Structures are given as structure tokens and as C-alpha cells.
A and B are shown apart, each in its own frame.
Chain A
Amino acid sequence: MMDSEGRDVIHHPPAEQRLVRIFGRFLAYVIVTLGAVVMIVPFLWMASTAFKEGGSAFDYPPTWIPNPITLDNFREVWTIVPFDRYLFNSLFIAVCVTIGEVLTSSLAAYAFARLRFPGRDAMFLMYLATLMIPGQVTIIPNFILMRYLGWINTYEGLIIPTAFTAFGTFLLRQYFLSIPRELEEAARVDGASYFQVWSRIIMPLASPAIATLAVFSFMGAWNSFLWPFIMVNTPEMRTLTVALRSFQTDYGTEWGLMMAGSLIAMLPMLVIFLMAQRYFVRGIATTGFGGR
């Protein structure tokens, strides 16, 4: 099949083929561009409203470019609600959840991937089985437990129950299994403890997987809503997502303020995405589960 005769078969008349290819590519560009516009337009509409003066959000016909461009909405959002506190809450919770998840998952993943001990495989199967359980099944008993512990409206209540995931352990275990054993064995021969092997060999070698897990834990915690929504009933403990929801309940028609708040709430994640884009893409491409 690979001989020169066979190769001739694939050549259509060149002009026609080139035309088809150019047209196809042109069409692909048009569709992909239109799609990108559809993705962006609601955000542009948000930004346009956020920078508009008081009443001009309700101009008819609607205008895209605010005239004049003003920061009034941002100033007002900041005065009527403690937005800096909400930013801090979201950031603090997301950072703690990320650190907790990466640490506990990587320790457990190392045990599952490398150490032999009784009950390991049964335990791992239990972890796998729970990946399928929807979070709403555990949310009611966990809420009741938090109430019993007096952790409602506390950082520990917002952080601890969400900082352990079977998913993170599973993801890292799969990656650890792909790391060649020779390096660890050499270190063990030199007298390194299991903990040193984990901290000095496995963790550095697994840094792409660690970064992926960290990025997704952070995004999951930053964007999470249901758990903080039920756990918080004092204004000062609200996270950004919960604050936006109460903002909607209290100032439902103040679109300028709500869009300014939304813009502030999405910016940190956007910055992280632009810096860590490849980890997002890799995480989704290799696991498909990230952020769920």
C-alpha cells in the first residue's frame, strides 16, 4: 500500500482539493469565532453595565460603551457591603482547602501507590466507590454534624469538611504509579525514611500533577456555593458567591452594583487561570473530573 503507485491515488485534482480545504478552513474559522463571541458577550454586557452611571443601565436602546465611564458602582458596592471581608473569606478558605487537600491526598496517594499493608486494596476500592456519590447525599448529615460541633459560621466548618477528597487521592495515586521506582529505591538504600521519599522525591517529581490538583481544588473552593450557602448565616462570614446571592436577594434590581460585584468576584480566578492555563487544560484533559 505504501508504494509510490498507491500514494498517487490520494491526489484529487489539486485545484479542486485546495479550494475545498480553503473553504473548509474558512468555515471553521467563522464558526469558532462566532462561538468565541457567544462565550464573551455576556461578560462584555456585565462589564458594560458595571462601569455605567446610576440610571443609564436602563437606557433604551441599550448601549455597549458606558458614557461616562465611572467607578461609582464599585465604590458603592464596597460601601454598602464589606466586600474586602468577602474577598478575604473566599481567599482564606480556598487557600486552606487547597493546602489541606494537596497534603492529605498526596500522603494517602503515596501509601496507596507504593506501600504494602493489609487492607490497602479494600480501602482503595472504598475510595473509588465513593467517587460516584453525589455531594448532596452527605450534605445533610455533615450540616447536622457541624451544628452539633458548633461550627456553623466558622472557618473550620467551611474548610475542614471540604478539604478531604477521594478524588484528589485517586488522581495523585494514578500519577505516582507512573513515576519510575528506581529513584526511590536508591534513596531507600541510602537510608531515607518513607516520609523523606515522599517529600524529597515523589512530591518534586509529581509537581505537574500536584499543580493540577492545586489549581482545581482552588477553583472548586473559590467557586463553591451550596456548602457555604447553608453554613453561613452571619454577613461577615459570607464568601463571595454567597455574598453575591444575598446581594441579589437584597438589591435585586440594582444591576450596576450586581455586575460590579460579579466582576470583582470573577477577577481573581481569571488571573489564576491566565497564569496556570496549561494546568487547567491538562487537568481536564487527563481526568475530566477537575472542578467537580
Chain B
Amino acid sequence: MTETTAKSPTRGRMSIGRRETVAGYLFLLPNVIGFIVFTAFAVVASAAISLTSWDLLSDPEFVGVQNYIDLLTNDPLFRTVLWNTFYFTVVSVPASTAIALGLALMFNTGLRAIPLFRAAYFLPVITATVVVALIWRWFYNPDFGILNYVLYELGVDTPPNWLASRTWAMPSVIILSVWKQVGYNMVIFLAGLQAIPTTLYEAASIDGAGRWERFRNITLPLLTPTTFFVLVISIIGSLQVFDAVLVLTDGGPANATRTIVFHIWEQAFVFLEMGYAAAVAWILFILVFLVTILQWKLQKRWVHYEA
């Protein structure tokens, strides 16, 4: 390719390699400027801010790693925040993954009217979290909401007070999040299922394998890369839950649903504790990083990549 273009006489004095280099940098330029300013520089700045005490009104004061020491040793509220985020993640990720897998398996048997159903499962996915959270807030309303009315009719005498209950507030956020996430995970699973060669099933049937054996020995192992992928992105997403918490409960009652990102937002943009909030953001980053590394390590034990 390079040799043929070199023959063209109108190409000026630059050598081919040089011209390609200049073109490469020019093509990258618009994106790289944004990337450097809003991502690379911002990451470094955020680390620097996390070493300060800064309320934006006066100059930042360098405090070293004091924010981190405080967070990890002397901050009961932050411990609650970590626990809440953990609770949310540990329940919502397996739930949305398992339900999505089950639904994908059923869809994959070739049900009719799939487009219609797919649209139904997609409606929560495409709608803003703020909007669906507002809808569910009304849905959960203990006095006039339809949910408790139905529960009451079904014979539940004292249905939960949902968002106002310290016990039920987090499950309420989890139910909303699973409901919103299931359609998304289902599509990933469906793609994974459709990539499994049907010849494998045919061969297994010929060998006399029943439905369950085929599922156990073909579908599940060959679906492990997809499952791995769904788990990684779901965990990372769950560690960052915010919109749903803000609209449904404002982190309450009594901090029962205060999650990491809710905490970052409130500390930074309500109380103007920029240094402290940046330190929390970095702890979140480290958590995401550790989870991802851990999953990569663990995947060798259970993920099968070869067909």
C-alpha cells in the first residue's frame, strides 16, 4: 500500500511515513484533547484534590493522606455507606443476572411474538433512571400506591412501608434496579446463547444426552464468558448506584440507602467538602479496580473460552 502511494507524484515532499504520522496525530487530535483534559488530567487532579481540605471558597489546604485515614479509621458513616453499597451489589447483581439468564433461556427456545416482548423488557432499560424511580416512588406509595393495594388484596394484612422503612428501603431500591437491568442483561445472554453452535446440541442428542444434560454440559459451560462479562459490568454498575437512591429515598431513612456515589455527591456538591469527596471517589475507583482484577483472576477457574 505504501509503495503504491509513493509513486503518486502530487504528494509533496513529506515522506510516506511522516505523512502518515501527521495524519494520525491530526485524526486523534479532537478526541485526544478532550481525553487529556476531561479524563487524564482530571484523574490526576482528583488524586491531588483528595490530598487537600477544600471548600472551593478559600484556597485548598494540603492535608496529606488525612482524608483517607479519617475515612478508613474514624468514620462510622462511611462504614455504613460501604455496607449499603455492598448490600445493594450482593443482592442486585445475582438477582438480575439469574433472572436475565432464565428469561434468555426461555426466549431462546423460539417463542413467538418475541419483538413485542422484547420491547416490554426494554422499556425500563431505555427510560431514564430518574423517570423510572419517580414512577416507582408512586408505585411504592404506602397509602395510594397500587403495589400495596394489590398486596393487601392478595391477603398481606400489613404490607411494608417500603421507602419509609429502614428495613425495606434498600430492598425497594434493589427491586427497582433489578427491574431496570434485567432486559439489558437478557439481551447479552441471548447473544451468548445464539453464538453456541447448534451442532453441539445435535451431537449430544445423538449420544443420548437429555435436555438437562445438554444444558448442564453444553449451555452452561459455553455461556460462562457471557456470564463473566455480565457479572463484571453489573458489579461495576452497582457500585455506582446513585440516581435511583436520590429520587426514591434521598439516601434515607436514617442513611439506610446512602451509597458510595450518593455520599460523594452530597459531600462534594451539598457540603462542598471537595477533598473528602475526592478521597471517597478514589476509594470507589480502587474498589472497582480490585473487583475487576479479582474477577480476571477467578475467571480462569470457571470460564471456558474454547468452544
Is the Cβ of A40 less than 8 Å from the Cβ of B120? Answer: yes
Residue of A nearest to B205 (CB): A10
Report the Cα distance A24→B149, complex, angstroms. Answer: 33
What 0/1 readout, one digit per residue, does chain B (166-186) give for beta carbons within 8 Å of chain A?
000000000000010011100
Stretch of B31-39, B71-79, B82-90, B157-165 at the chain-chain interface: B31-39
Report the Cα distance A25→B112, complex, angstroms. Answer: 11
Residue in A62, A245, A258, A262 whose beta carbon sits within 8 Å of that of B149 in the complex? A62
Contact residues of A between 108 and 148, Cβ < 8 Å to B: 108, 110-112, 115-118, 120, 123, 126-127, 130, 132-145, 147
A266-B131, A274-B119 known; A140 and B24 CB under 8 Å? Answer: no
Residue in A28, A115, A136, A259 whose beta carbon sits within 8 Å of that of B23 in the complex? A115
Residue of B nearest to A190 (CB): B8
Question: A67 on the interface (CB 8 Å rule)?
Answer: no
Report the Cα distance A43→B124, complex, angstroms. Answer: 9
Stretch of B61-69, B216-224, B229-237, B297-305 at the chain-chain interface: B229-237
- Chain A residues contacting B17 (CB-CB under 8 Å) are 116
Report the Cα distance A196→B135, complex, angstroms. Answer: 49
A1-B206, A6-B206, A164-B31 known; A133 and B134 CB under 8 Å? Answer: no
Question: A70 on the interface (CB 8 Å rule)?
Answer: no
Is the Cβ of A259 less than 8 Å from the Cβ of B135? Answer: yes
- Chain A residues contacting B56 (CB-CB under 8 Å) are 144, 147
Is the Cβ of B120 less than 8 Å from the Cβ of A45? Answer: no
Report the Cα distance A286→B190, complex, angstroms. Answer: 11
Is the Cβ of A284 less than 8 Å from the Cβ of B126? Answer: no
Is the Cβ of A288 less than 8 Å from the Cβ of B1? Answer: no
Q: How many residues of B contact A (CB 8 A)?
A: 105
Report the Cα distance A160→B33, complex, angstroms. Answer: 11
Report the Cα distance A291→B185, complex, angstroms. Answer: 13
Residue of A nearest to B37 (CB): A145
Q: How distant is A290 from chain B, measured CB to nearest CB, in Å?
A: 9
Residue in A42, A57, A108 whose beta carbon sits within 8 Å of that of B30 in the complex? A108
- Chain B residues contacting A45 (CB-CB under 8 Å) are 135, 138-139, 146
Question: B191 on the interface (CB 8 Å rule)?
Answer: yes
Report the Cα distance A166→B134, complex, angstroms. Answer: 31
Is the Cβ of A241 less than 8 Å from the Cβ of B135? Answer: no
Report the Cα distance A40→B229, complex, angstroms. Answer: 27
Residue of B nearest to A44 (CB): B146
Contact residues of B between 182 and 210, Cβ < 8 Å to A: 182-184, 187-188, 190-191, 203, 205-208
Residue of A nearest to B288 (CB): A134
Question: B46 on the interface (CB 8 Å rule)?
Answer: yes
Residue in A117, A262, A273 whose beta carbon sits within 8 Å of that of B24 in the complex? A117
Is the Cβ of B128 less than 8 Å from the Cβ of A225? Answer: yes
Is the Cβ of B42 less than 8 Å from the Cβ of A141? Answer: yes
- Chain B residues contacting A291 (CB-CB under 8 Å) are 125, 184
Size range of the interface on A? 35 or more
| Selected A-B contacts with CB under 8 Å, 17 pairs | A9-B207, A31-B103, A45-B146, A58-B144, A111-B28, A115-B23, A116-B20, A123-B28, A134-B285, A140-B277, A141-B49, A145-B37, A188-B4, A223-B129, A240-B128, A244-B131, A255-B141
- Chain A residues contacting B191 (CB-CB under 8 Å) are 284-286
Residue in A59, A140, A241 whose beta carbon sits within 8 Å of that of B131 in the complex? A241
A10-B206, A130-B39 known; A49 and B123 CB under 8 Å? Answer: no
Report the Cα distance A60→B152, complex, angstroms. Answer: 12
Q: How distant is B287 from chain A, measured CB to nearest CB, in Å?
A: 9
- Chain B residues contacting A24 (CB-CB under 8 Å) are 109
- Chain B residues contacting A160 (CB-CB under 8 Å) are 34
- Chain A residues contacting B4 (CB-CB under 8 Å) are 185, 188-189
Residue in B46, B131, B137 whose beta carbon sits within 8 Å of that of A265 in the complex? B131
Question: A51 on the interface (CB 8 Å rule)?
Answer: no
Q: How distant is B193 from chain A, measured CB to nearest CB, in Å?
A: 11
Is the Cβ of B42 less than 8 Å from the Cβ of A245? Answer: no
Is the Cβ of B289 less than 8 Å from the Cβ of A265? Answer: no
Residue in A1, A107, A280, A292 whose beta carbon sits within 8 Å of that of B31 in the complex? A107
Is the Cβ of A60 less than 8 Å from the Cβ of B144? Answer: yes
Is the Cβ of A103 less than 8 Å from the Cβ of B30? Answer: yes
Contact residues of A between 12 and 64, Cβ < 8 Å to B: 24-25, 28-29, 31-33, 35-36, 38-43, 45-46, 49, 57-62
What 0/1 readout, one digit per residue, does chain B (104-126) give for beta carbons within 8 Å of chain A?
00110101000101111111111
Report the Cα distance A223→B156, complex, angstroms. Answer: 36
Report the Cα distance A95→B236, complex, angstroms. Answer: 27
Q: How distant is A255 from chain B, measured CB to nearest CB, in Å?
A: 5
A115-B27, A142-B42 known; A262 and B35 CB under 8 Å? Answer: no
Q: How distant is B84 from chain A, measured CB to nearest CB, in Å?
A: 16
A107-B27, A133-B285, A259-B135 known; A245 and B38 CB under 8 Å? Answer: no
- Chain A residues contacting B141 (CB-CB under 8 Å) are 255
Is the Cβ of A140 less than 8 Å from the Cβ of B135? Answer: no
Report the Cα distance A191→B6, complex, angstroms. Answer: 10
For the complex of A and B, list the 3 residue pairs with the smallest distance between their C-beta atoms, beginning with the closest. Answer: A164-B34, A285-B191, A117-B24
A142-B38, A142-B42, A223-B129 known; A32 and B106 CB under 8 Å? Answer: yes
